[in-house]
Amino acid sequence: MRAIELKNVTFSYDGKTKILDNVSFTAEYGKVSLISGLSGEGKSTLMYIISGIIPNITYGELKGEVKINEEDIKGKKLGEICRKVGVVLQNADEQIIQKRIEDEIAFGCENLAFPPEKIKKQIEIVCKLMKLSPEWECRKLSGGQKQRLITASTLAMGQKIIILDEPLANLDKDGAANLMQTLRSLAGAGYCVLVIEHRLDMVLPYVDGVYHVGSGKIKEIENKEEYLVSQTTKIEDICPVFAGNKSLFDLDHVAFSVKEREILKDISCKIPKGGRTVFLGENGCGKTTLMRLIARLYKPTGGKITQYIEGKFGQKTKANKKWFKKVGVIYQNPDYQLFMPTVEKEVGFGAESPEYAEKIAELFGIKHLWNRHPQSLSEGQKRRVSIAAVVACKPEVLLLDEPTVGQDFEGLCKMTDILNRLHEETGNTMITITHDVRCAEALCDKAFYIENGVVAKSGGKELVREYFKG
């Protein structure tokens, strides 16, 4: 039996621009299928159509047939479709609504009227599978842990058709491998698994079929290996070898705890002025926390961070408007930063001139989105807009937390190239957190590996290669 079948499907959000144009597609039980393609070309839209989000929640003009288990879903309520199709969205924060992990996982199961004993068992199974503790508070989770949680919540509900949109976003290499192995096992047990993902090197060994979405069409890729090579070529680092030896930040025995939970134990390192520093480590090791400490969004509970940006920013001075003119912060979730009614106003908000805002928009390939509301964009487009808006302010320090999540290979190459060129032009200091080896190597002069709350290793590009190879 075919799990999913689309026949001659056409969709437009505005009735004019066709996101999908007369496409046909099938997915079967017992198989893992990969949906790939450029950002903003319709991959997530395809998922919304199959899951019934379109047209039940998100409106637009939909034509053609959409069948689940060989039954047309036209006119069916979302709740009825959700009993058959489980969905993991890109943005974890949009899905998490409960205080604790066990409550979050239980919520979906309760909506499906699972008995209490079954819910308890499902929580136990998926927490073990996704390496989560039921009692953890959701708001204190790292980006990768949140990603594992929303996946666990979906798996717990037991739908035989599962669609995951960028499930490896923010996951470390071990977490990504574990998830793909789990999905492969589910397919072996008779599930239909559909994965939308850009990290092809982590996905392709586990999938049965590859489909490329672009220009309104869906095309099956016959040669997976050739497709992988075309999408995973090493990115060239255009920046010369960094030779500076001045510190911009000195971290001296920095520690950070929240109540009984110790996140960072003893972090000591020097971040070079005008260099490109990359922090590596597994999900939950404290990388994002460390970045927020450097940005003065948090205060250390032990040790100190000495900055050499400007004397007027005393070591105990709280972060303020003048500080953030010097220190630009890119969050994992772009929704935390996007607040203006158009992309033009978003990028132009802190720019020195409208002309410079347009220059930056052209660099990031978002000028054609100028009049769009930021929240109407794909996740990949949102991320480019959020980075462009901060870069347009010309900060002396650029803190980037997973800057390439949601970017296709072309977008990733372009992103790293732009950041490096701006780095060369401005002499800024870049500090990056990433789980993407291509991004890490392309944006690295100095690397620090964090493990068990301390800096376990330091080095250069060779450390990046060692970490991801291991």
CATH number of 2-231: 3.40.50.300
CA-closest candidate to residue 82, choices 100, 109, 115: 109
> What angle in degrees, to the nearest 10, is found between the helix axes of 116-130 and 143-157?
140
- CB burial class (10 A; 0-12, 13-18, 19+) of residue 355? exposed
For the chain, give every domain's residue range. Answer: 2-231, 247-469
Domains 2-231 and 247-469 share a fold: yes
| Residue type at 280 in one-letter notation | L
Residues 357, 109: Cα–Cα separation, whole Å: 47
Position of tokens 């997973």? Answer: 402
The answer to whether 371 and 340 have CB atoms below 8 angstroms apart is no
Highest mean pLDDT among 10-19, 21-30, 230-239, 375-384: 21-30
Digit-coded pLDDT (tens) for 293-312: 999 999 999 999 999 998 77
- Which tops the pLDDT comparison, 236 or 82? 82
CATH number of 247-469: 3.40.50.300
Q: Which long-range contacts (CB under 8 A, 24 or more apart) does 366-375 make?
A: 369/343, 370/342, 370/343, 370/344, 371/342, 371/343, 371/344, 372/342, 372/343, 373/341, 373/342, 373/343, 374/334, 374/338, 374/340, 374/342, 374/343, 374/346, 375/335, 375/338
Write out the E strands in 157-283: 161-165, 192-196, 209-214, 217-221, 247-258, 261-272, 276-280
- Which tops the pLDDT comparison, 151 or 313? 151
The answer to whether 374 and 346 have CB atoms below 8 angstroms apart is yes
Concatenated DSSP letters of 216-233: TEEEEES-HHHHHHHH-P
> What would the two tokens of residue 366 be?
């978002």
For the chain, what is the mean pLDDT? 91
Say how many Å lie between the first and final Cα of the chain, rounded: 40
Residues 282, 286: Cα–Cα separation, whole Å: 9
Q: How many CB atoms lie under 10 A from the CB of residue 197?
A: 21
Q: What is the pTM of this model?
A: 0.80
Digit-coded pLDDT (tens) for 242-272: 878 899 999 999 999 987 789 999 999 999 9
CA-closest candidate to residue 169, choices 402, 399, 400, 433: 402
pLDDT number for residue 470: 62
Position of tokens 């953030």? Answer: 324
Report DSSP state, residue 138. G
Three-state secondary structure call for residue 195: strand
pLDDT band at 469 (very low <50, low <70, confident <90, very high): confident
* DSSP-derived pairing of the beta strands 429-433 and 276-280: parallel
